[in-house]
Amino acid sequence: MSLAVANRVTSVRMTPALLHLCVGAGIFLFLFIVGDRLLHDSDTYWHIKVGQWIIDHAAMPYSDIYSFTRAGSPWMSNAWLSQVIYATAYSHAGWAGAVALTALAVAAALVIFLNLIGSCFEPVHRILLALLAFVVSSPHLLARPHVLALPIMVAWAGGLIRAVDQRSPPPWVLLPLMVVWANLHGGFVLGLALIAPIALEALWQSKHDERIAVATQWGLFGVAALLASCCTPYLHNTLFAAAKILSLGPVLSLVSEWRPADFSSIGPFELALLGLIGLALSRGVVLSLPRIALLLLVTHMALSHVRCVEVFAFLVPLAIARPFRDRAAPAIHAIDARASWLVSTPAALAVIGGALALSLAYTAHHDFVFDRAQAPAAALDALRQHQARRIFNDYQFGGFLIANDVPTFIDSRAELYGQQFMMKYLRAAEGRSRDEVAALLDEFKVDGTLLTPDQPAAQLLDQMPGWTRLYADDFAVAHVRVAPAK
Protein backbone atom coordinates (compact mmCIF):
# COMPACT_ATOMS: atom_id res chain seq x y z
CA MET A 1 0.00 0.00 0.00
CA SER A 2 1.42 3.41 -0.98
CA LEU A 3 1.94 6.15 1.55
CA ALA A 4 -0.76 8.28 -0.10
CA VAL A 5 -3.36 5.52 0.13
CA ALA A 6 -2.40 4.75 3.71
CA ASN A 7 -2.79 8.37 4.70
CA ARG A 8 -6.15 8.51 2.98
CA VAL A 9 -7.41 5.37 4.74
CA THR A 10 -6.29 6.41 8.20
CA SER A 11 -7.72 9.90 7.84
CA VAL A 12 -11.20 8.77 6.86
CA ARG A 13 -13.80 8.60 9.57
CA MET A 14 -16.53 6.01 9.70
CA THR A 15 -19.00 6.62 6.86
CA PRO A 16 -22.68 7.20 7.70
CA ALA A 17 -23.69 3.95 5.99
CA LEU A 18 -21.20 1.95 8.04
CA LEU A 19 -22.23 3.72 11.23
CA HIS A 20 -25.88 2.95 10.55
CA LEU A 21 -25.03 -0.66 9.75
CA CYS A 22 -23.20 -0.99 13.07
CA VAL A 23 -26.26 0.35 14.91
CA GLY A 24 -28.51 -2.07 13.04
CA ALA A 25 -26.20 -4.99 13.80
CA GLY A 26 -26.15 -4.02 17.46
CA ILE A 27 -29.95 -3.88 17.63
CA PHE A 28 -30.20 -7.22 15.83
CA LEU A 29 -27.85 -8.92 18.29
CA PHE A 30 -29.60 -7.35 21.26
CA LEU A 31 -33.03 -8.53 20.11
CA PHE A 32 -31.67 -11.95 19.25
CA ILE A 33 -30.13 -12.39 22.70
CA VAL A 34 -33.37 -11.32 24.42
CA GLY A 35 -35.34 -13.18 21.74
CA ASP A 36 -37.65 -14.94 24.20
CA ARG A 37 -39.26 -11.53 24.80
CA LEU A 38 -40.35 -11.50 21.14
CA LEU A 39 -42.38 -14.68 21.80
CA HIS A 40 -44.93 -13.20 24.19
CA ASP A 41 -48.04 -13.28 22.02
CA SER A 42 -49.86 -16.43 20.98
CA ASP A 43 -50.83 -14.74 17.70
CA THR A 44 -47.42 -15.91 16.51
CA TYR A 45 -48.70 -19.48 16.72
CA TRP A 46 -51.67 -19.04 14.43
CA HIS A 47 -49.75 -16.88 11.94
CA ILE A 48 -47.23 -19.70 11.53
CA LYS A 49 -50.06 -22.23 11.30
CA VAL A 50 -51.81 -20.29 8.53
CA GLY A 51 -48.52 -19.80 6.69
CA GLN A 52 -47.84 -23.53 6.79
CA TRP A 53 -51.38 -24.22 5.51
CA ILE A 54 -50.78 -21.88 2.57
CA ILE A 55 -47.48 -23.62 1.78
CA ASP A 56 -48.97 -27.12 2.07
CA HIS A 57 -52.06 -26.37 -0.04
CA ALA A 58 -50.51 -23.82 -2.43
CA ALA A 59 -53.71 -21.86 -1.99
CA MET A 60 -55.15 -18.96 -0.02
CA PRO A 61 -57.75 -19.32 2.75
CA TYR A 62 -61.16 -17.82 1.99
CA SER A 63 -63.13 -19.18 4.95
CA ASP A 64 -62.50 -20.01 8.57
CA ILE A 65 -61.21 -23.49 9.35
CA TYR A 66 -59.86 -22.85 12.83
CA SER A 67 -62.86 -22.11 15.07
CA PHE A 68 -66.07 -23.99 15.87
CA THR A 69 -68.08 -20.82 16.43
CA ARG A 70 -67.40 -19.33 12.99
CA ALA A 71 -66.45 -22.39 10.97
CA GLY A 72 -67.02 -21.81 7.27
CA SER A 73 -67.54 -18.06 7.61
CA PRO A 74 -65.78 -15.85 5.05
CA TRP A 75 -62.26 -14.95 6.15
CA MET A 76 -59.17 -13.81 4.29
CA SER A 77 -55.60 -13.67 5.53
CA ASN A 78 -54.34 -10.20 4.62
CA ALA A 79 -50.91 -10.99 6.12
CA TRP A 80 -50.40 -14.12 4.06
CA LEU A 81 -46.86 -13.28 2.87
CA SER A 82 -45.61 -12.63 6.41
CA GLN A 83 -47.22 -15.86 7.53
CA VAL A 84 -45.49 -17.83 4.79
CA ILE A 85 -42.14 -16.22 5.65
CA TYR A 86 -42.56 -16.95 9.35
CA ALA A 87 -43.69 -20.51 8.66
CA THR A 88 -40.65 -21.09 6.45
CA ALA A 89 -38.28 -19.69 9.08
CA TYR A 90 -39.92 -21.77 11.80
CA SER A 91 -39.82 -24.99 9.78
CA HIS A 92 -36.08 -24.59 9.19
CA ALA A 93 -34.88 -23.17 12.51
CA GLY A 94 -37.72 -23.40 15.02
CA TRP A 95 -38.30 -20.43 17.30
CA ALA A 96 -34.75 -19.23 16.59
CA GLY A 97 -35.80 -18.65 12.99
CA ALA A 98 -38.84 -16.59 14.01
CA VAL A 99 -36.73 -14.56 16.45
CA ALA A 100 -33.97 -13.91 13.91
CA LEU A 101 -36.51 -12.83 11.29
CA THR A 102 -38.15 -10.39 13.70
CA ALA A 103 -34.83 -8.98 14.92
CA LEU A 104 -33.64 -8.52 11.33
CA ALA A 105 -36.80 -6.61 10.39
CA VAL A 106 -36.43 -4.23 13.34
CA ALA A 107 -32.76 -3.69 12.58
CA ALA A 108 -33.55 -2.99 8.92
CA ALA A 109 -36.21 -0.44 9.93
CA LEU A 110 -33.71 1.38 12.13
CA VAL A 111 -31.02 1.42 9.43
CA ILE A 112 -33.51 2.88 6.93
CA PHE A 113 -34.63 5.40 9.54
CA LEU A 114 -31.03 6.49 10.20
CA ASN A 115 -30.34 6.90 6.48
CA LEU A 116 -33.47 9.04 6.05
CA ILE A 117 -32.56 11.47 8.82
CA GLY A 118 -28.81 11.31 8.16
CA SER A 119 -28.57 14.70 6.44
CA CYS A 120 -30.49 16.50 9.19
CA PHE A 121 -28.67 15.52 12.38
CA GLU A 122 -25.17 14.90 13.64
CA PRO A 123 -24.32 11.20 14.08
CA VAL A 124 -24.78 11.17 17.85
CA HIS A 125 -28.18 12.86 17.58
CA ARG A 126 -29.56 10.55 14.91
CA ILE A 127 -28.38 7.50 16.85
CA LEU A 128 -30.16 8.82 19.93
CA LEU A 129 -33.33 9.35 17.88
CA ALA A 130 -33.08 5.82 16.50
CA LEU A 131 -32.64 4.37 19.98
CA LEU A 132 -35.58 6.44 21.20
CA ALA A 133 -37.76 5.07 18.39
CA PHE A 134 -36.62 1.57 19.30
CA VAL A 135 -37.35 1.95 23.01
CA VAL A 136 -40.76 3.53 22.45
CA SER A 137 -41.71 0.77 19.99
CA SER A 138 -40.29 -2.09 22.06
CA PRO A 139 -43.54 -3.13 23.85
CA HIS A 140 -45.08 -3.94 20.46
CA LEU A 141 -42.03 -5.59 18.90
CA LEU A 142 -43.19 -9.20 18.68
CA ALA A 143 -42.76 -12.08 16.25
CA ARG A 144 -45.79 -11.03 14.22
CA PRO A 145 -46.46 -9.73 10.69
CA HIS A 146 -46.59 -6.03 11.60
CA VAL A 147 -42.88 -6.15 12.48
CA LEU A 148 -41.94 -7.58 9.08
CA ALA A 149 -43.77 -4.63 7.53
CA LEU A 150 -41.99 -2.09 9.75
CA PRO A 151 -39.04 -1.44 7.37
CA ILE A 152 -41.47 -0.83 4.53
CA MET A 153 -43.55 1.56 6.62
CA VAL A 154 -40.44 3.59 7.49
CA ALA A 155 -39.17 3.62 3.90
CA TRP A 156 -42.59 4.54 2.50
CA ALA A 157 -43.30 7.36 4.95
CA GLY A 158 -39.75 8.67 4.79
CA GLY A 159 -39.78 8.60 1.01
CA LEU A 160 -43.01 10.58 0.80
CA ILE A 161 -41.83 13.16 3.33
CA ARG A 162 -38.45 13.51 1.64
CA ALA A 163 -40.14 14.15 -1.72
CA VAL A 164 -42.11 17.04 -0.23
CA ASP A 165 -39.11 18.41 1.66
CA GLN A 166 -37.07 18.45 -1.55
CA ARG A 167 -40.02 19.81 -3.56
CA SER A 168 -39.77 16.79 -5.84
CA PRO A 169 -42.50 14.94 -7.75
CA PRO A 170 -44.21 11.98 -6.06
CA PRO A 171 -41.76 9.10 -5.52
CA TRP A 172 -43.10 6.60 -8.04
CA VAL A 173 -40.19 4.31 -7.26
CA LEU A 174 -41.87 3.51 -3.93
CA LEU A 175 -44.92 1.85 -5.51
CA PRO A 176 -43.38 -1.66 -5.41
CA LEU A 177 -43.08 -1.20 -1.65
CA MET A 178 -46.84 -0.76 -1.44
CA VAL A 179 -47.32 -4.04 -3.31
CA VAL A 180 -45.11 -5.87 -0.81
CA TRP A 181 -46.67 -4.07 2.17
CA ALA A 182 -50.20 -5.00 1.12
CA ASN A 183 -49.20 -8.67 1.09
CA LEU A 184 -47.31 -8.49 4.38
CA HIS A 185 -49.77 -6.77 6.69
CA GLY A 186 -53.05 -4.87 6.76
CA GLY A 187 -51.23 -1.79 8.02
CA PHE A 188 -50.70 -0.78 4.41
CA VAL A 189 -53.87 1.31 4.74
CA LEU A 190 -51.77 3.69 6.82
CA GLY A 191 -49.44 4.11 3.86
CA LEU A 192 -52.39 5.00 1.67
CA ALA A 193 -53.74 7.40 4.29
CA LEU A 194 -50.39 9.22 4.50
CA ILE A 195 -50.58 10.25 0.85
CA ALA A 196 -53.37 12.80 1.40
CA PRO A 197 -51.74 15.04 4.05
CA ILE A 198 -48.34 14.83 2.37
CA ALA A 199 -49.85 15.68 -1.03
CA LEU A 200 -51.67 18.57 0.63
CA GLU A 201 -48.35 19.92 1.89
CA ALA A 202 -46.85 19.60 -1.59
CA LEU A 203 -49.77 21.65 -2.86
CA TRP A 204 -49.43 24.10 0.04
CA GLN A 205 -45.79 24.95 -0.70
CA SER A 206 -46.08 25.06 -4.50
CA LYS A 207 -46.41 28.24 -6.49
CA HIS A 208 -49.84 29.33 -7.61
CA ASP A 209 -49.28 28.52 -11.27
CA GLU A 210 -47.89 25.06 -10.39
CA ARG A 211 -50.73 23.84 -8.20
CA ILE A 212 -52.76 22.15 -10.91
CA ALA A 213 -49.72 20.16 -12.07
CA VAL A 214 -48.77 19.25 -8.48
CA ALA A 215 -52.32 18.19 -7.66
CA THR A 216 -52.44 16.07 -10.81
CA GLN A 217 -49.12 14.40 -10.04
CA TRP A 218 -50.01 13.49 -6.47
CA GLY A 219 -53.54 12.50 -7.45
CA LEU A 220 -52.21 10.06 -10.03
CA PHE A 221 -49.70 8.77 -7.49
CA GLY A 222 -52.52 8.17 -4.99
CA VAL A 223 -54.51 6.22 -7.57
CA ALA A 224 -51.43 4.21 -8.52
CA ALA A 225 -50.74 3.42 -4.85
CA LEU A 226 -54.35 2.31 -4.42
CA LEU A 227 -54.04 0.00 -7.42
CA ALA A 228 -50.70 -1.29 -6.13
CA SER A 229 -52.33 -2.21 -2.82
CA CYS A 230 -54.72 -4.44 -4.74
CA CYS A 231 -51.88 -6.52 -6.22
CA THR A 232 -52.52 -9.41 -3.85
CA PRO A 233 -54.14 -12.83 -4.23
CA TYR A 234 -57.36 -11.27 -2.87
CA LEU A 235 -57.21 -8.29 -5.28
CA HIS A 236 -59.43 -5.39 -4.14
CA ASN A 237 -60.87 -7.44 -1.29
CA THR A 238 -57.59 -6.86 0.55
CA LEU A 239 -58.68 -3.28 1.14
CA PHE A 240 -62.04 -4.33 2.57
CA ALA A 241 -60.45 -6.97 4.79
CA ALA A 242 -57.91 -4.49 6.16
CA ALA A 243 -60.55 -1.87 6.84
CA LYS A 244 -63.04 -4.30 8.38
CA ILE A 245 -61.30 -4.42 11.73
CA LEU A 246 -61.69 -0.64 12.07
CA SER A 247 -65.46 -1.08 11.90
CA LEU A 248 -65.54 -3.03 15.17
CA GLY A 249 -66.07 0.19 17.09
CA PRO A 250 -66.02 0.12 20.91
CA VAL A 251 -64.97 -3.53 21.07
CA LEU A 252 -61.47 -2.56 19.95
CA SER A 253 -60.85 -0.77 23.25
CA LEU A 254 -61.39 -4.09 25.05
CA VAL A 255 -58.48 -5.75 23.22
CA SER A 256 -55.18 -4.94 24.93
CA GLU A 257 -53.22 -3.70 21.90
CA TRP A 258 -56.13 -1.57 20.71
CA ARG A 259 -56.59 0.17 24.06
CA PRO A 260 -55.65 3.82 24.55
CA ALA A 261 -52.21 4.69 25.90
CA ASP A 262 -51.99 4.50 29.68
CA PHE A 263 -50.32 7.46 31.39
CA SER A 264 -51.06 6.35 34.95
CA SER A 265 -47.33 5.69 35.30
CA ILE A 266 -44.55 7.31 33.33
CA GLY A 267 -43.19 5.28 30.41
CA PRO A 268 -41.09 5.61 27.22
CA PHE A 269 -43.98 6.88 25.10
CA GLU A 270 -44.85 9.67 27.51
CA LEU A 271 -41.20 10.67 27.87
CA ALA A 272 -40.78 10.72 24.08
CA LEU A 273 -43.93 12.77 23.58
CA LEU A 274 -42.92 15.33 26.21
CA GLY A 275 -39.34 15.39 24.98
CA LEU A 276 -40.32 16.09 21.38
CA ILE A 277 -42.70 18.85 22.48
CA GLY A 278 -39.92 20.38 24.56
CA LEU A 279 -37.44 20.11 21.69
CA ALA A 280 -39.82 21.82 19.28
CA LEU A 281 -40.50 24.63 21.74
CA SER A 282 -36.86 25.17 22.65
CA ARG A 283 -35.65 25.25 19.04
CA GLY A 284 -38.64 27.11 17.65
CA VAL A 285 -39.30 24.55 14.91
CA VAL A 286 -41.86 25.93 12.45
CA LEU A 287 -44.07 23.52 10.53
CA SER A 288 -46.63 24.03 7.80
CA LEU A 289 -50.28 23.52 8.67
CA PRO A 290 -50.51 20.25 6.65
CA ARG A 291 -47.48 18.85 8.48
CA ILE A 292 -48.92 19.91 11.82
CA ALA A 293 -52.11 18.07 10.85
CA LEU A 294 -50.04 14.98 9.98
CA LEU A 295 -48.25 15.04 13.35
CA LEU A 296 -51.51 15.52 15.21
CA LEU A 297 -53.03 12.58 13.32
CA VAL A 298 -50.09 10.30 14.15
CA THR A 299 -50.12 11.41 17.79
CA HIS A 300 -53.87 10.81 18.02
CA MET A 301 -53.43 7.31 16.64
CA ALA A 302 -50.74 6.53 19.23
CA LEU A 303 -52.83 7.94 22.07
CA SER A 304 -55.93 6.03 20.91
CA HIS A 305 -54.33 2.65 20.28
CA VAL A 306 -51.21 1.17 21.88
CA ARG A 307 -50.41 -0.74 18.71
CA CYS A 308 -49.85 2.55 16.86
CA VAL A 309 -47.05 3.72 19.14
CA GLU A 310 -44.35 2.54 16.72
CA VAL A 311 -45.96 4.66 14.00
CA PHE A 312 -45.50 7.69 16.25
CA ALA A 313 -41.96 6.66 17.21
CA PHE A 314 -40.71 6.54 13.62
CA LEU A 315 -42.90 9.01 11.72
CA VAL A 316 -42.67 12.03 14.04
CA PRO A 317 -38.85 12.30 13.83
CA LEU A 318 -39.05 11.83 10.05
CA ALA A 319 -41.62 14.61 9.79
CA ILE A 320 -39.71 17.16 11.88
CA ALA A 321 -36.16 16.31 10.71
CA ARG A 322 -35.93 18.69 7.74
CA PRO A 323 -37.75 21.62 9.43
CA PHE A 324 -35.53 21.12 12.48
CA ARG A 325 -32.39 21.23 10.33
CA ASP A 326 -33.57 24.32 8.47
CA ARG A 327 -34.33 26.09 11.72
CA ALA A 328 -31.26 25.06 13.67
CA ALA A 329 -28.94 25.11 10.62
CA PRO A 330 -26.49 22.57 12.07
CA ALA A 331 -23.19 21.95 10.39
CA ILE A 332 -23.60 18.35 9.28
CA HIS A 333 -20.19 16.98 8.45
CA ALA A 334 -20.20 15.20 5.12
CA ILE A 335 -18.05 12.18 4.51
CA ASP A 336 -16.34 11.65 1.19
CA ALA A 337 -17.59 8.18 0.23
CA ARG A 338 -15.10 7.94 -2.61
CA ALA A 339 -12.24 8.26 -0.15
CA SER A 340 -13.62 5.73 2.29
CA TRP A 341 -14.74 2.75 0.27
CA LEU A 342 -11.46 0.95 0.98
CA VAL A 343 -12.38 1.02 4.67
CA SER A 344 -16.18 0.82 4.62
CA THR A 345 -16.67 -2.19 2.35
CA PRO A 346 -14.48 -4.65 4.27
CA ALA A 347 -15.75 -3.20 7.54
CA ALA A 348 -19.37 -3.68 6.49
CA LEU A 349 -18.69 -7.29 5.55
CA ALA A 350 -16.96 -7.77 8.90
CA VAL A 351 -19.94 -6.32 10.78
CA ILE A 352 -22.43 -8.54 8.95
CA GLY A 353 -20.23 -11.62 9.31
CA GLY A 354 -19.63 -10.92 12.98
CA ALA A 355 -23.34 -10.50 13.72
CA LEU A 356 -24.11 -13.75 11.88
CA ALA A 357 -21.35 -15.66 13.69
CA LEU A 358 -22.42 -14.38 17.11
CA SER A 359 -26.09 -15.20 16.51
CA LEU A 360 -25.22 -18.74 15.36
CA ALA A 361 -22.98 -19.23 18.40
CA TYR A 362 -25.73 -18.03 20.71
CA THR A 363 -28.28 -20.32 19.06
CA ALA A 364 -26.01 -23.32 19.65
CA HIS A 365 -26.14 -22.73 23.41
CA HIS A 366 -29.66 -21.35 23.86
CA ASP A 367 -33.10 -22.81 23.19
CA PHE A 368 -35.73 -20.15 22.56
CA VAL A 369 -38.90 -20.78 24.53
CA PHE A 370 -42.35 -19.35 23.95
CA ASP A 371 -43.94 -17.54 26.87
CA ARG A 372 -45.68 -20.19 29.01
CA ALA A 373 -48.42 -17.76 29.96
CA GLN A 374 -49.51 -17.82 26.30
CA ALA A 375 -49.10 -21.58 25.87
CA PRO A 376 -51.04 -23.57 28.52
CA ALA A 377 -49.81 -26.98 27.37
CA ALA A 378 -50.54 -28.90 30.58
CA ALA A 379 -54.09 -27.60 30.87
CA LEU A 380 -54.76 -28.43 27.21
CA ASP A 381 -53.41 -31.96 27.70
CA ALA A 382 -55.81 -32.44 30.61
CA LEU A 383 -58.76 -31.32 28.47
CA ARG A 384 -57.70 -33.62 25.65
CA GLN A 385 -57.45 -36.59 27.99
CA HIS A 386 -60.98 -35.80 29.11
CA GLN A 387 -61.94 -35.68 25.39
CA ALA A 388 -63.24 -32.12 25.53
CA ARG A 389 -63.83 -30.99 21.96
CA ARG A 390 -65.61 -27.64 22.16
CA ILE A 391 -63.54 -25.43 24.43
CA PHE A 392 -64.51 -21.97 25.66
CA ASN A 393 -61.06 -20.38 25.66
CA ASP A 394 -59.46 -17.21 26.88
CA TYR A 395 -58.84 -14.70 24.08
CA GLN A 396 -55.06 -14.91 24.50
CA PHE A 397 -55.03 -18.72 24.18
CA GLY A 398 -56.59 -18.76 20.71
CA GLY A 399 -53.34 -18.88 18.76
CA PHE A 400 -51.97 -21.73 20.89
CA LEU A 401 -55.13 -23.79 20.32
CA ILE A 402 -54.99 -23.21 16.57
CA ALA A 403 -51.37 -24.36 16.51
CA ASN A 404 -52.44 -27.54 18.29
CA ASP A 405 -55.34 -28.24 15.90
CA VAL A 406 -57.98 -27.48 18.53
CA PRO A 407 -60.97 -25.51 17.22
CA THR A 408 -61.27 -22.22 19.07
CA PHE A 409 -64.25 -20.48 20.60
CA ILE A 410 -62.50 -17.19 19.86
CA ASP A 411 -59.06 -15.92 18.85
CA SER A 412 -57.49 -12.63 17.83
CA ARG A 413 -59.06 -12.55 14.37
CA ALA A 414 -61.51 -9.92 15.59
CA GLU A 415 -62.70 -9.10 12.07
CA LEU A 416 -63.95 -12.69 11.72
CA TYR A 417 -66.03 -12.70 14.89
CA GLY A 418 -67.51 -9.24 14.64
CA GLN A 419 -68.53 -6.71 17.25
CA GLN A 420 -71.71 -8.42 18.48
CA PHE A 421 -70.11 -11.81 19.09
CA MET A 422 -67.02 -10.31 20.73
CA MET A 423 -69.10 -8.20 23.09
CA LYS A 424 -71.12 -11.27 24.07
CA TYR A 425 -67.92 -13.24 24.66
CA LEU A 426 -66.29 -10.48 26.70
CA ARG A 427 -69.35 -10.09 28.91
CA ALA A 428 -69.30 -13.82 29.61
CA ALA A 429 -65.54 -13.87 30.25
CA GLU A 430 -65.97 -11.08 32.76
CA GLY A 431 -68.50 -13.23 34.62
CA ARG A 432 -71.10 -10.50 34.96
CA SER A 433 -73.99 -12.94 35.11
CA ARG A 434 -74.06 -16.67 35.83
CA ASP A 435 -77.12 -17.06 33.61
CA GLU A 436 -75.43 -15.22 30.75
CA VAL A 437 -72.33 -17.42 30.99
CA ALA A 438 -74.43 -20.60 31.18
CA ALA A 439 -76.54 -19.52 28.20
CA LEU A 440 -73.48 -18.87 26.02
CA LEU A 441 -71.87 -22.20 26.95
CA ASP A 442 -75.10 -24.03 26.22
CA GLU A 443 -75.68 -22.18 22.94
CA PHE A 444 -72.41 -23.45 21.49
CA LYS A 445 -72.51 -26.83 23.28
CA VAL A 446 -69.23 -26.14 25.09
CA ASP A 447 -67.88 -29.14 27.00
CA GLY A 448 -64.65 -27.62 28.34
CA THR A 449 -63.14 -24.27 29.25
CA LEU A 450 -59.59 -22.95 29.22
CA LEU A 451 -59.19 -19.61 30.99
CA THR A 452 -56.59 -17.65 32.92
CA PRO A 453 -56.74 -18.02 36.73
CA ASP A 454 -57.67 -14.37 37.23
CA GLN A 455 -60.53 -14.49 34.74
CA PRO A 456 -63.86 -13.90 36.57
CA ALA A 457 -65.57 -16.55 34.45
CA ALA A 458 -63.08 -19.16 35.69
CA GLN A 459 -64.00 -18.38 39.29
CA LEU A 460 -67.69 -18.39 38.44
CA LEU A 461 -67.43 -21.85 36.87
CA ASP A 462 -66.24 -23.23 40.22
CA GLN A 463 -69.70 -22.47 41.57
CA MET A 464 -71.84 -23.32 38.55
CA PRO A 465 -73.81 -26.60 38.67
CA GLY A 466 -72.90 -29.06 35.95
CA TRP A 467 -69.24 -27.96 35.84
CA THR A 468 -66.13 -29.08 37.68
CA ARG A 469 -62.55 -27.89 37.79
CA LEU A 470 -60.30 -30.34 35.96
CA TYR A 471 -56.90 -28.68 36.11
CA ALA A 472 -55.26 -25.49 37.39
CA ASP A 473 -51.76 -24.02 37.48
CA ASP A 474 -50.25 -20.54 37.47
CA PHE A 475 -51.14 -19.98 33.82
CA ALA A 476 -54.50 -21.61 33.13
CA VAL A 477 -57.60 -23.16 34.66
CA ALA A 478 -59.58 -25.88 32.89
CA HIS A 479 -63.18 -26.88 33.64
CA VAL A 480 -65.27 -29.63 32.08
CA ARG A 481 -68.98 -30.18 31.88
CA VAL A 482 -70.30 -33.00 34.06
CA ALA A 483 -73.96 -32.58 33.16
CA PRO A 484 -75.52 -32.47 29.66
CA ALA A 485 -76.10 -29.04 28.13
CA LYS A 486 -79.69 -27.85 28.21
Is the Cα torsion angle 201, 204, 208, 211 positive or negative in sign? positive
Q: How far apart are CA 201 and CA 198, in angstroms?
A: 5
pLDDT score, position 338: 47
Per residue in 204-215, is it b (16+ CB within 10 Å) or e — as a string?
A: eeeeeeeeeebe
Question: Cα dihedral angle (474, 476, 479, 480), rounded to 10 degrees?
Answer: -130
pLDDT at 327: 65
Residue 458's nearest CA partner among 468, 447, 446 is 468
How much is the pLDDT for 254? 63
What is the Cα–Cα distance from 395 to 398, expressed in whole angstroms? Answer: 6
pLDDT of 337 reads: 45
pLDDT value at residue 7: 41
For each successive 10 residues of the chain (486 residues), what is the average pLDDT?
41 70 94 93 95 96 95 94 97 95 96 90 88 91 95 96 92 96 94 94 89 93 96 90 71 69 79 80 78 89 85 91 70 46 70 89 89 92 94 94 96 88 88 86 94 91 91 94 74
Q: Angle CA(182)–CA(183)–CA(187) in degrees, nearest 5?
A: 45
- Look up the pTM and report it: 0.90
* Alpha carbons 210 and 289: distance in angstroms, whole number: 19
> E strands, 174-279, where?
none
**H or E stretch at 467:** strand 467-472
71, HSE (Cβ side, Cα atoms, 13 Å): 11
Tell me what pLDDT residue 246 has.
Answer: 67
Sequence-distant (≥ 6) Cβ neighbours of residue 351 within 8 angstroms = 18, 21, 22, 25
- H/E run at residue 99: helix 80-117
**Per-residue pLDDT at 407:** 96
Which pLDDT belongs to residue 2? 44
